[in-house]
Amino acid sequence: MSQQLEQSFAYGNDNALIRHRVLRNTYWLLALSMIPTVIGAWIGVQLNFSFFPGRPGISFLIFMAVAFGFMYAIEKTKESATGVAVLLGFTFFMGLMLSRLISHTLGYSNGGTLIMTAFGGTAMILGVMATIATTSKRDFSGLGKWLFVGLMVIIVASIANIFLQLPALYLVVSVMAIGIFSAYILYDVQEIINGGETNYISATLKIYLDVYNIFVNLLSLLGIFGGNRD
Number of domains, the chain: 1
In sequence order, which residues have a C-beta less than 8 Å from that of residue 220 and are 6 or more positions away? 101, 170, 174
Strand spans (E) along the chain: none
pLDDT at 196: 84
List phi, psi (to 5°) of 136.
-75, 145
Nearest to 210 by CA among 192, 195, 223: 192
pLDDT at 19: 85
Q: Hey, how many other C-beta atoms are within 10 angstroms of the C-beta on 130?
A: 20
Which amino acid does the sequence have at 208? Y
pLDDT at 11: 46
pTM of the model: 0.90
CA–CA dist 103, 46 (Å, integer) = 9
Q: Residue 217: which domain range?
A: 2-226
pLDDT at 207: 96
Ramachandran assignment for 51, one of left (phi > 0), alpha (psi -120 to 50 degrees), beta (any other): beta
Q: Which positions of the chain have pLDDT values less than 70?
A: 1-14, 51-54, 230
Q: Hey, how many other C-beta atoms are within 10 angstroms of the C-beta on 54?
A: 7
CA–CA dist 203, 23 (Å, integer) = 8
Distances (CA, A) of 143 to 17, 43, 160, 177, 212: 26, 38, 26, 15, 20
pLDDT at 124: 97
